[in-house]
Chains A and B, each alone.
Chain A
Amino acid sequence: MASRSRGALEREVIACLAAAGRPMTAADVRAELSMDLAYTTVMTTLSRLHAKNAIERVPQGRAYAYSLTGGPATARVNVVAHRMLRLLDDETDRAAVLTRFVGELQPGDEQLLTELLRGRE
């Protein structure tokens, strides 16, 4: 298992909770992220995020179920700044203020990528 930095693991946990869209226990998070992670590592990360108010928890059975504090509300709040950034990136396309993960596909790329996903899954 590649070692993750503390920040990287926190980002993964947040992304995991956001993608799931439902409260998850530490065991759920661990199962989703990777069973190679120690349970205590996941627990520590969740506690740290909880201490920072990034996530909230409710008792569920003998454990806690965690979910994002802001959740969809924060994601909506961020939309304005996000739109401004994209406009800025479009108008100054040579100034490159954003490093985008993926851009426009060229003709023919679509087929290649579809085959990749189909062939290797």
Chain B
Amino acid sequence: MIVLAATPLVVGVLAGLLGGRLGRRLQPRHAVPLLTGLALTVAVCTGIALSGLAVLALAQLGPISRLGHWSAHVLRADAGEPLALGLIALVAVVAILGAALVRALGSIYALSRAAYHARRLVPAAGNLVLVDDTEPVAYAVAGRIVMSRSLLAELPTDERRAVLAHEAAHVRHRHHLYVHLTAMSAAANPLLRPLVRAIGVGIERWADEEAAGAVRSREVTARGLARAALARDRTPALARSRTPGLAATDSAVAERVRALLDPAPVYRLPAALVFAGGLACWLAAAAVTWRTDELIQIAERALLRR
């Protein structure tokens, strides 16, 4: 039982440690949904497995067993787990749910505020918004693509096209959702925190690949990336937005440029490993649920027989 309940935790540790590395050996457009799915799976299954332990512990308490008409004594003998462990699981489940809820509300709040401000932007045409900013910036927000005139002036036409295609890819594939879902999973299960950065870099790589496809040149895309990054670096720090405090928000320019110019071979094994990890989590969660139910039924029958 304890082994089963620990499976999602073990997969979580492995996902946190290896997830980023596995992701780099896949196409970004596959890696991002796979790793996001794995993060959600680990978070949900950890919750289910710990809930199983918590239910077993609570069911052993006198008042609850009288209410449910089962034998606390038989349950205690059969469960074979220390009561304290179940109570710890209970606290953990409450903490997980709380953290995930807080993070989800935080995401919704931040995204709706962003959408509110994004609606005030006046597009030049379609969803392209031009702004005056000494810092050369480009970003996607709430379905809009924002570019500063200083960045437009900095880039040759083909690289400009790559940047536009990159941002359009963010909008088209709703990349922010992957970031938010992974961040929520990581709030519920801190073991998954390294995946937040992996997904952050992953969506940039995904958009880079789409841009390279649109302009039919990995090199033009890499040059646009390099030029935009250097131009941003040259603007006085005062004008620049604050240095992101967390690695999760850095956009790994050098890594992306290298990946464009020197594409890493793509394998199937990492995808299989991610699937296997996810499957193991679901099986363990199902087994814990089934076993909990079975133990309580046995305890019920024991009371009836008496």
Would A99 and B223 be within 8 Å (CB), given that A12-B160, A14-B125 are in contact?
no
CB distance from A49 to the nearest CB of B (A): 6
Residues of B within 8 A of A79 (CB): 131-133
CB distance from A68 to the nearest CB of B (A): 6
Contact between A7 and B127, CB atoms less than 8 A apart: yes
Contact between A93 and B248, CB atoms less than 8 A apart: yes
Residues of B within 8 A of A10 (CB): 125-126, 128
Contact between B128 and A14, CB atoms less than 8 A apart: yes
Chain B's interface: helix, strand, loop or mixed, by majority?
helix
Instruction: Give the contacts of B139-194 with A (CB-CB under 8 A).
Output: 139-141, 145-147, 149, 152-153, 155, 157, 160-161, 163-168, 170, 175-176, 179-180, 183
| Complex-state Cα separation, A11 to B168, whole angstroms | 10
Task: Decide yes or no whether A112 CB sits under 8 A from chain B.
Answer: yes
Contact residue among B122, B160, B245 (Cβ-Cβ distance under 8 Å from A15): B160
Task: Decide yes or no whether A38 CB sits under 8 A from chain B.
Answer: no
In the complex, the chain A residue whose C-beta lies closest to that of B242 is A90
Contact between A11 and B106, CB atoms less than 8 A apart: no
Contact between B131 and A93, CB atoms less than 8 A apart: no
Residues of B within 8 A of A49 (CB): 125
- Residues of B at under 8 Å CB distance from A? 106-107, 110-111, 113-114, 117-118, 120-122, 124-133, 137-141, 145-147, 149, 152-153, 155, 157, 160-161, 163-168, 170, 175-176, 179-180, 183, 196, 200, 203-204, 207, 213-216, 219, 222-223, 225-230, 232-233, 241-246, 248-254, 257, 261
Taking A72-B149, A105-B253 as known contacts, 16 extra A-B pairs with beta carbons closer than 8 A to each other, sorted by chain A number, are A11-B127, A13-B125, A74-B122, A79-B133, A86-B241, A90-B242, A93-B245, A93-B246, A93-B249, A95-B111, A96-B180, A96-B249, A100-B249, A101-B137, A113-B229, A114-B230
Q: List 9 A-B contacts (CB under 8 A).
A: A8-B164, A15-B128, A19-B157, A80-B120, A82-B129, A93-B245, A97-B113, A103-B249, A117-B227
